[in-house]
């Protein structure tokens, strides 16, 4: 659909757009972020200024950005998709190839009030570009090999750049979110089945040949994989963090040790407790009730997003919302699996909770896009 | 291109279907995460709670106060004193080198100590306190407190450490404590966790070592909260331990001090035993050393000085020294012969100055001979030939049996280090030890306490106590534990006929109180305190054939380490024995000259309050004795002569 086909008269205009925002989503996001402030306050030992206040300031700024993005019509964002993807891609190239020389191996660009990480920007510009691509593409051709290759290249090229930084977590997120958009756009399941079986086959090949003369990797590489997969095999080294995180989680019990009473976090047994492992402190201090409530809040956010996508008959909007929701979901899933010992440790923050300005801003801009799509949906 | 409405509808349906699929997949994953949460936080909560507590709580031991050691009247021998020390922590100090340099201007510290401390501080975690100096005096200690602002990270502390106020007097008996070493932990099945405390002090020798379990006490404990780096955050709970039990020895510190001073620089030992109950009244080895040096960590110079001294200050000669008892053994031979009927009180033996067995000639110490000798005179004048004669009649087995009955050749159960068993040889022993048959010459040598016979001063004192009392007196060192008397059963009567003992005691009386006695110069003239005894002079070298022919060289012409040992055993008062004494002066020459006077002074001191009365000494000796007594370097100078101690 082109924007000419939108029934413009039915789309809200001016300040009345505010009334048409997806308010439950706004409230849920604020609620989760507030839990984050509380935890950051607790982790700092009751100090507001260490982490909680900067995080609140960034959240406020991010909310303003979200509203601004939401106010802009979705067809504006669609027309910006290609340009945004290109800008993010160029910035990625800049920090990758010139950052090492000119900026002392930085992976970010300092904008004064915030340090902009191009890899963060790429998370949603990629989703936008893919959504715009599938909006443009004739739905009959989505499974045509040539038209599958194009989005694959759109995903793989920035992923390789991010992987070279090296940032395994973010590159994984790019692939998962991109694949989700492709999946939602209707690309034949055979492609996904083929890629999945290739991946499984490669992994199986690596492990099945272990110990045979024609094994793929060196023995020391296998040992590294073992530690990666099973942290308890190295309890004081690589496995220490994950073991301590599980102790914190488990010892929280049903209702937790109480606000600011978490011994594991207060006595420094927890690693990265204000960033990637912030969930452990929550689970320790508020127990299963607190942790599960957070999970429900997250599920509601994703649910509202998916519902908004189903409601939206604009293909770009729907795909964009699904892409943002998938991105949000994969961050949560990977982070929680990691801290709960279901997956190996990959440096991935917990959205809205982990301390960090760049990720928070980008995420809120993403939600701004969701809101814009929702406000300007065809009626 | 513009898709038709139908196509758009179609693609929209696909999208919705896929979106629902995605939603289902995400929901399933969230359910898995929720399930995992439940498993960790509900099902496994108890296990993880335990792990979290183990992380958080650390238990530190509180060392108990060590039990005190006192003499029989309660005088402190080993005490715990306040130890003023300073510790430094790196994180609080900042510039460790600067702070240490400033500290060195306040308290005495060498450059090496300074460097060693700086090294230690830097090698440990920033919050671990390191001891900079210990045993500071109060002045230095308060100076540090005053200069606290200039010394960040330096904290003055007070702890307890062991001190021996009677230093030299009890070094051998009580020993000393020192930090636990790897060697101490070796072979211990389940070491007391206290031993793992850095620098925890345990007994190394003597009573401190052998009564360690009594003295140590029970550790207290405190539960503390620590963070991941091990830093103590706060104390949660504290349970004080039980201090160790106090011990009262049987030794009288004043008598001990007198004996130590009386031995002076001689390489010698003296033991006094209460014959009525076995209490060791004094047990002195000379020269001695200051045990406090070992507690502090003895310097190489001091240690080498002790080990290189040919008078062996570190050895406890009173219980570890095994000496040939010489003529002090003659009572054993006599009692064995009396029991076997090989001699009687009236049996006469002719002493021409030697006796011949086969082709060997054994000399009496008096080359001219004693003429006709009976038991009493054989002891009084120490005739060797008399004993050669009766010994070859009675045989070594009976002599050894009598020796053991009187306490020789065995180790007593007293808490001191390196107790020697001595040696009471018999045929079986020689066959096992030297793979040789016992010869008649061995019996001859043994009869006068030479050859294979060895005994410690403690054993000789026990032997004398048994002869004096007629009971199997067993020595004991501990009188009370934690204010409770250690029970002592009355020693059983020895199965030696009373008349035999009386005969031997009469002979011992003659040794001192007969004008021909070998120890007549060491007589006590006060009849209430009169002493009986026996002198001994034991050879420490083999007498060569040429010497045997030409006559033994006078001791004065020999180098110190080849001179004879001087011995004396005795008891007093003669008619109601209370104390038995044994004295050995290494390489002292004749027992009558070197050992008997010491024995007299010490046993008199044991029987008196304060210094012995001059009245007890023969009039001709009083002037000399008075000077000698006044010049003794006693710890507590005693003023005035006090009358005899009343009989207990």
- Domain ranges (residues) in chain B: 60-249
A199-239, pLDDT tens digit by residue? Answer: 899 888 888 887 777 777 777 777 767 766 776 666 666 56
CATH (one of 3.90.1310.10, 3.40.50.2000, 3.40.50.720, 3.40.50.970) for B60-249: 3.90.1310.10
- Taking the CA of residue B57 and the nearest CA in chain A, the distance in Å comes to 10
Q: Does A192 touch chain B (CB under 8 A)?
A: no
Give the list of residues 6+ apart from residue B190 with CB closer than 8 angstroms, or none.
none
Measured in angstroms, the CA of A228 and the nearest CA of chain B are apart by: 20
Token pair of B374 as six digits: 């009976």
Which of the four pLDDT bands, split at 50, 70 and 90, describes residue B644?
very low
pLDDT tens column, B493-544: 999 999 999 999 999 999 999 999 999 999 999 999 999 999 999 987 665 5
Q: Tell me the per-residue pLDDT of A272-302, one tens digit each, with 9 for 90 and over.
A: 788 888 999 999 999 999 999 999 999 999 9
Task: Supply the DSSP symbol for B300.
Answer: H
Which member of B327, B378, B447, B592 is catalytic? Answer: B327
C-alpha to C-alpha distance for B286 and B263, rounded to whole angstroms: 6
Beta bridge partners of B481: B247, B484
**Given an 8 Å threshold on Cβ–Cβ distance, is B22 in contact with A303?**
no
| Residue B447 falls in the annotated catalytic set | no
- Give percent helix, percent strand, percent coil of chain A, each to the nearest 5: 70, 0, 25
Give residues with Cβ within 8 angstroms of B60, minimum separation 6.
Answer: B221, B222, B224
pLDDT recorded at residue A8: 56
Q: Which residue of A lies nearest to B17 if distances are taken between CA atoms?
A: A184
Whether B648 shows a pLDDT value over 50: the answer reads: no
**To 5 degrees, how large is the angle CA B333–CA B337–CA B342?**
145
ipTM (interface predicted TM):
0.90
CA distance B462 to B273: 7
B11 touches chain A (CB under 8 A): yes
Query: Which stretches within B41-110 are classed as H helix?
Result: 45-56, 90-93, 96-106
Report whether pLDDT(B128) > 90: no
Across the range B33-39, mean pLDDT stands at 93
Beta carbons within 8 Å of A221's beta carbon, 6+ residues apart:
none
Cα–Cα distance for residue pair B15/A181, rounded to 1 Å? 10
- State the smallest CA–CA distance between residue B106 and chain A in angstroms: 38
For residue A115, the surrounding DSSP H or E stretch is strand A115-116
DSSP B279: B
8 Å CB contact between A338 and A350 = no
pLDDT in tens, B47-85: 888 888 887 777 778 888 899 999 999 999 999 988 888
The pLDDT of B352-381, averaged and rounded, is: 90
Q: At B70, list the tokens.
A: 């006192």
Rounded to the nearest 10 degrees, the angle between the axes of helix A315-339 and helix A240-252 is: 90
Which residues 317-356 of A are in CB contact (within 8 Å) with B? 318-319, 322, 326, 329, 333, 336-337, 340-342
pLDDT surpasses 90 at A127: yes
What letter would DSSP give residue B530?
-
- Whose CA is closest to A329, among A356, A308, A348? A348
Cβ contacts of A318 on chain B, cutoff 8 Å:
15, 19
Torsion angle (degrees, nearest 10) of CA B72, B73, B78, B81: 160
End-to-end Cα spacing for chain B: 131
Q: Which of residues 231-260 of B touch A (CB under 8 A)?
A: 233
Q: What whole-number percentage of chain A has pLDDT above 70?
A: 90
Measured distance CA(A20)–CA(A11) in Å, rounded: 9
Q: Which is nearest to B569 in space by CA: B583, B586, B589, B588? A: B583
Structural domain boundaries in chain A: 14-185+217-375
Residue of B nearest to A131 (CA): B15
Residues A351-375 have a mean pLDDT of: 92
For residue B153, report the phi and psi dihedrals to the nearest 5 degrees: 85, -10
- The answer to whether the beta carbons of residues B598 and B270 sit under 8 Å apart is yes
């Amino acid at each position: 659909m082109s924007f000419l086909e939108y029934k413009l008269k039915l789309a809200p205009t001016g300040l009345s757009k505010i009334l048409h925002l997806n308010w439950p989503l706004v409230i849920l996001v604020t609620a989760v972020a507030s839990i984050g402030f509380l935890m950051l306050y607790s982790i700092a030992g009751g100090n507001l200024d260490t982490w909680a206040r900067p995080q609140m300031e960034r959240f406020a700024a991010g909310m303003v950005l979200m509203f601004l993005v939401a106010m802009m019509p979705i067809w504006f964002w669609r027309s910006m998709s290609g340009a945004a993807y290109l800008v993010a891609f160029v910035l990625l190239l800049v920090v990758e190839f010139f950052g090492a020389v000119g900026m002392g191996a930085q992976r970010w660009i300092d904008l004064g009030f915030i340090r902009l990480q191009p890899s963060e920007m790429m998370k949603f510009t990629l989703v936008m570009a893919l959504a715009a691509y599938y909006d443009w593409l004739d739905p009959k051709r989505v499974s045509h090999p040539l038209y599958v290759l194009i989005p694959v290249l759109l995903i793989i090229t920035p992923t390789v750049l991010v992987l070279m930084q090296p940032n395994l977590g973010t590159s994984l997120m790019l692939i998962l979110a991109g694949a989700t958009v492709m999946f939602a756009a209707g690309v034949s399941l055979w492609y996904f089945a083929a890629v999945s079986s290739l991946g499984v086959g490669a992994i199986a090949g690596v492990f099945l040949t272990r110990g045979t003369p024609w094994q793929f990797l060196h023995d020391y590489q296998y040992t590294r994989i073992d530690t990666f997969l099973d942290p308890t095999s190295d309890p004081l080294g690589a496995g220490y963090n994950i073991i301590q995180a599980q102790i914190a989680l488990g010892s929280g019990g049903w209702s937790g040790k109480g606000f600011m009473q978490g011994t594991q976090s207060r006595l420094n047994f927890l690693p990265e407790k204000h960033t990637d492992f912030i969930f452990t402190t929550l689970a320790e201090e508020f127990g299963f009730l607190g942790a599960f409530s957070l999970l429900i809040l997250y599920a509601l956010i994703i649910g509202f997003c998916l519902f908004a996508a189903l409601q939206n008959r604009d293909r770009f909007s729907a795909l964009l919302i699904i892409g943002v929701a998938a991105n949000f979901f994969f961050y949560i899933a990977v982070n929680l699996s990691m801290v709960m010992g279901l997956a190996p440790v990959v440096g991935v923050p917990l959205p809205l909770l982990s301390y960090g300005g760049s990720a928070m801003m980008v995420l809120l801009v993403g939600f701004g896009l969701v809101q814009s799509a929702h406000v300007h949906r065809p009626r | 291109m513009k898709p038709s409405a139908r196509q758009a509808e179609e693609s929209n349906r696909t999208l919705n279907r896929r979106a629902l699929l995605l939603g289902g997949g995400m929901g399933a994953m969230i359910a898995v995460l929720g399930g995992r949460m439940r498993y960790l936080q509900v099902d496994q909560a108890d296990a993880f709670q335990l792990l979290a507590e183990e992380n958080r709580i650390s238990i530190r031991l509180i060392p108990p106060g060590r039990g005190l050691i006192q003499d029989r009247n309660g005088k402190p021998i080993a005490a715990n004193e306040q130890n003023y020390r300073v510790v430094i922590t790196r994180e609080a100090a900042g510039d460790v080198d600067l702070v240490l340099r400033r500290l060195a201007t306040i308290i005495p510290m060498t450059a090496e100590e300074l460097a060693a401390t700086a090294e230690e501080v830097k090698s440990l975690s920033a919050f671990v306190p390191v001891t900079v100096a210990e045993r500071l005096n109060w002045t230095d200690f308060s100076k540090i407190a005053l200069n606290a602002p200039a010394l960040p990270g330096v904290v003055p502390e007070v702890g307890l450490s062991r001190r021996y106020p009677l230093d030299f007097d009890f070094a051998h008996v009580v020993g000393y404590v020192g930090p636990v070493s790897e060697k101490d932990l070796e072979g211990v099945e389940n070491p007391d966790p206290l031993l793992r405390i850095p620098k925890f002090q345990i007994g190394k020798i003597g009573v401190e070592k052998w009564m360690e379990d009594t003295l140590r006490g029970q550790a207290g404990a405190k539960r503390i909260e620590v963070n991941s780096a091990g830093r103590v955050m706060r104390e949660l709970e504290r349970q004080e331990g039980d201090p160790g039990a106090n011990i009262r020895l049987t030794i009288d510190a004043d008598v001990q001090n007198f004996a130590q001073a009386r031995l002076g620089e001689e390489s010698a030992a003296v033991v006094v035993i209460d014959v009525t109950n076995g209490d060791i009244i004094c047990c002195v080895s000379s020269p001695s050393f200051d045990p406090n040096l070992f507690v502090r960590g003895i310097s190489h110079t001091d240690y080498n000085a002790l080990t290189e001294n040919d008078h062996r200050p570190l050895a406890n000669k009173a219980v570890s020294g095994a000496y040939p008892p010489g003529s002090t053994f003659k009572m054993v031979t006599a009692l064995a012969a009396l029991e076997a009927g090989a001699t009687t009180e009236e049996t006469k033996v002719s002493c021409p100055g030697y006796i011949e067995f086969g082709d060997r000639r054994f000399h009496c110490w008096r080359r001219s001979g004693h003429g006709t000798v009976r038991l009493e005179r054989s002891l009084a004048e120490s005739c060797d030939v008399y004993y050669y004669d009766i010994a070859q009649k009675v045989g070594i087995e009976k002599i050894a049996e009598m020796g053991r009955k009187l306490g020789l050749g065995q180790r007593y159960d007293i808490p001191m280090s390196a107790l020697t068993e001595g040696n009471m040889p018999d045929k079986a022993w020689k066959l096992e030890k030297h793979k040789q048959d016992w010869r008649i010459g061995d019996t001859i040598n043994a009869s006068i306490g030479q050859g294979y016979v060895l005994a410690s001063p403690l054993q000789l004192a026990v032997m004398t106590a048994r002869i004096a009392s007629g009971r199997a007196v067993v020595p004991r060192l501990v009188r009370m534990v934690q204010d409770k008397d250690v029970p002592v059963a009355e020693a059983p009567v020895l199965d030696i006929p009373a008349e035999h003992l009386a005969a031997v005691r009469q002979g011992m009386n003659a040794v001192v109180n007969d004008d021909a006695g070998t120890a007549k110069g060491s007589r006590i003239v006060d009849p209430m305190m009169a002493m009986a005894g026996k002198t001994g002079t034991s050879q420490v070298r083999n007498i060569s054939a040429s010497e045997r022919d030409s006559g033994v060289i006078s001791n004065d012409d020999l180098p110190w380490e080849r001179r004879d040992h001087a011995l004396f055993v005795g008891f007093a008062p003669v008619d109601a024995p209370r104390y038995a004494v044994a004295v050995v002066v290494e390489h002292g020459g004749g027992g009558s000259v070197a050992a008997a006077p010491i024995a007299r002074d010490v046993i008199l001191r044991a029987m008196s309050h304060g210094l012995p009365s001059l009245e007890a000494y023969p009039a001709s000796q009083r002037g000399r004795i008075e000077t000698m007594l006044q010049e003794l370097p006693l710890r507590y100078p005693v003023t005035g002569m006090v009358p005899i101690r009343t009989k207990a």
